[in-house]
Amino acid sequence: MKQSYSIVALPGDGIGVEVLNQALRVLRAAGELFQINFDIEEIECGGHYYAEHETEWPEGSFEKCKAADAILLGAVGHEVDGKTVFTKPAKPYPEPQLAGYAQVILNRRELNLYANVRPVKLYPGVKHKIHGELKQVWEPGKVDYVVIRENTEDAYTGETNDIDGGRMTPIKITRRATERVVRYAFNLARQRNKQMKVTCVDKSNIIGAHRFFREVFREIGTSEFPDIKLDYAYVDAFCQWQIRNPEWYDVVVAPNLAGDIISDNGATTAGGLGLAVGGNIGDEHAMFEPIHGSAPKHAGKDKANPLAAILSAQMMLDWLGTRHHDNRLTNAAKRVEAAVAEVLAEGKTLTYDLIGEEKASKCSEVGAAVEDRLRKLP
Ligand code: IPM
Ligand code: MN
């Protein structure tokens, strides 16, 4: 058992800072309760940092991320006077990009975090905002699948070329990257032991590179995972089925861009982006983050929903527990999830997105409520 776990915390920009604070508070409480020592280093970074320093984070930060047992990210993206700050073209992403993206894209690519694991799970009591009103639309228990998004290639290579007076961005799908991500998805279906099914979601009817993704999926599935059912969907049609019939899905695997879109769309059925979580997972490293952005217009108001960030810390605990065969972490993860579920089911101490502006609690109050439940749970 390890004496101590080193965590790099990257608050980033906007609401990322506030929600990560609440995640760290819950993480510290979990550490205390389960006698786990976390050595947490916070590194200031993101678009606001770039605006001041012309670099997105202090020198040596990437090496610190690489050396850490796990990374916890808030959100990145910064505005000045309502205008988004873009970085100059920089390695490894030669296109001008939203300042702060380096941490996300660089860590995902350079640390080989090839599987972006995004659970779509509806907790009891959670309401959805539909037609401006909060209602219970989907049924808990019928929304419980995991999107595995390939995290290193597809349209995210950063390459763009001039062509015919316009620009062209390639879609790259390699055998190596596809094999490892589809294996991750099949193994997860086995581990979940629910429907024993993996759905491949792509645009293989028109994009040749996606056809290759699907072929590799079929090949690995039939040869290595005969106990798992293979299922297929085109991403456009999938977008409506995941809303109408989410209970069909167990594990879903998709190329990068399709996975990006369907994970946000799936969040609609699970209470919105305020609750949606992503783990960027590789064989050696991992980074956990809420999948929402930095929401500059809500920043600094202690208003944003911290539950996605808290559930990211929960996912990190679970991953660390499995990786290091440390039951303290696995139990802490279970307890944090139970504490969040209690706060949701109780339906009192919630942010505006889940309860409406009039009854809304603050970001820090929701963090405190989760910590309180965590300490009281048996
Ligand atoms: C996400 C985000 C990122 C992505 C952005 C910030 C580059 O939308 O994590 O889903 O597209 O991967
Ligand atoms: Mn996204």
The CA-atom distances, in angstroms, between 81 and each of 21, 236, 296 are: 25, 36, 11
CA of 97, closest atom in ligand 1: 7
Nearest CA, atom 7, ligand 1: 101
Q: How far apart are CA 295 and CA 313, in angstroms?
A: 20
Residue where a domain stops, chosen among 221, 250, 272: 272
Taking residues 348-353, report their average pLDDT. 97
Asked whether residue 236 falls in the same domain as residue 335, the answer is: no
Measured CA to CA, the distance from residue 22 to residue 344 in angstroms comes to 16
3-state helix, strand, coil in the chain (%, to 5): 45, 20, 35
Take atom 11 of ligand 1 and give the residue whose Cα is closest.
260
Ligand 2 centroid, distance to 326 Cα (angstroms): 31
> Is 258 within the bounds of a domain?
yes
Query: Does 249 lie in the same domain as 299?
Result: no
Q: Supply the pLDDT for residue 341.
A: 98
Tokens found for residue 348: 């009192």
- CATH number of the domain where residue 135 is located: 3.40.718.10
Percent of the chain with pLDDT over 90: 83
Cis before 92 (ω within 30):
yes
**DSSP-assigned letter for residue 286:** E
pLDDT of 131 higher than 60? yes
pTM of this prediction? 0.95
Using the predicted structure, report yes or no on whether residue 105 has a pLDDT greater than 60.
yes
Please check whether residue 135 lies inside any domain of the structure. yes
Residue 168 lies in a domain: yes
Q: Specify if 277 maps to a domain.
A: no
Residues whose CB is less than 8 angstroms from the CB of residue 85 and which lie 6 or more positions away in sequence, other chains included = 47, 48, 50, 51, 78, 79, 98, 99
Predicted pLDDT of residue 355: 96
Q: Are 149 and 118 in contact (CB under 8 A)?
A: yes
Based on the domain organization, do 170 and 268 belong to the same domain? Answer: yes
Tell me the three-class secondary structure of 76-115, residue by residue.
CCCEECCEECEECCECCECCCEECCHHHHHHHHHHCCCCE
How far from 330 is each of 32, 319, 335, 370, CA to CA, in Å? 14, 8, 9, 18
The single-letter DSSP state of residue 195 is: S
Number of domains making up the chain: 2
Do 135 and 252 fall into the same domain? Answer: yes
Residue 226 lies in a domain: yes
240, 272, 304: which is the final residue of a domain?
272
Question: Tens digits of per-residue pLDDT, 273-317?
Answer: 999 999 999 999 999 999 999 999 999 999 999 999 999 999 999
In a domain, residue 263? The reply is yes
Let me know whether 157 and 257 are in one domain. Answer: yes
Joined together, the tokens standing for residue 136 give 């219970």
Q: In 212-320, where do the E strands start and end?
A: 229-234, 251-254, 277-281, 286-290
Residue 161 lies inside a defined structural domain of this protein: yes
Residues 6+ positions from 114 with CB-CB distance below 8 Å: 150, 151, 152, 177, 180, 181, 184, 281, 282
- The catalytic position among 260, 318, 326, 353 is 260
User: Would you tell me how many other CB atoms lie within 10 Å of the CB of residue 96?
Assistant: 11
The confidence score (pLDDT) of residue 314 equals 98
pLDDT tens for residues 73-96? 999 988 888 888 777 655 555 566
Domain hosting 62: range is 1-113+282-378
For the range 52-55, what are the long-range contacts, defined as Cβ-Cβ under 8 Å and sequence gap of 24 or more?
Answer: none
Q: How far apart are CA 358 and CA 178, in angstroms?
A: 47
Q: What is the pLDDT of residue 88?
A: 67
Please list every protein residue whose CB sits less than 6 Å from any atom of ligand 1. 101, 104, 260, 291
Q: Which of 236, 283, 301, 359 is catalytic?
A: 236
Give 101's pLDDT tier (boundaries 50, 70, 90).
Answer: confident
For residues 3 and 350, what is the distance between their CA atoms, to the nearest angstrom?
35
Same domain? 77 vs 157: no
Q: Is residue 241 domain-resident? A: yes
- Report the residue among 260, 281, 291 best suited for mutation to probe ligand 1: largest number of ligand atoms under 8 A from its CB: 260
Q: Which mutation among 71, 86, 87, 104 tests ligand 1's pocket best, with the greatest number of atoms within 8 A of CB?
A: 104
Instruction: Kindly state whether residues 267 and 305 are assigned to the same domain.
Output: no
Contacts of 320 (CB under 8 A, 6+ apart): 5, 69, 70, 326, 329
Q: Which ligand is nearest to the Cα of residue 156, counting in written order?
A: 1
Q: Which of 229, 249, 272 is where one domain is finished?
A: 272
Whether residues 133 and 240 fall in one domain: yes
Whose CA is closest to atom 6 on ligand 1?
A: 101
Average per-residue pLDDT for the chain? 94
72 with 143, same domain: the answer is no
Whether residues 82 and 144 share a domain: the answer is: no
Q: What is the pLDDT of residue 82?
A: 81
Ligand 2 centroid to 223 CA: how many Å? 32
Residue 251's Cβ-side half-sphere holds a number of Cα atoms within 13 Å equal to 29
Say yes or no: 140 and 260 in one domain.
Answer: yes
* Residue 236 known to be catalytic: yes
Same domain, 358 and 305: yes
Q: Is 39 a catalytic residue?
A: no
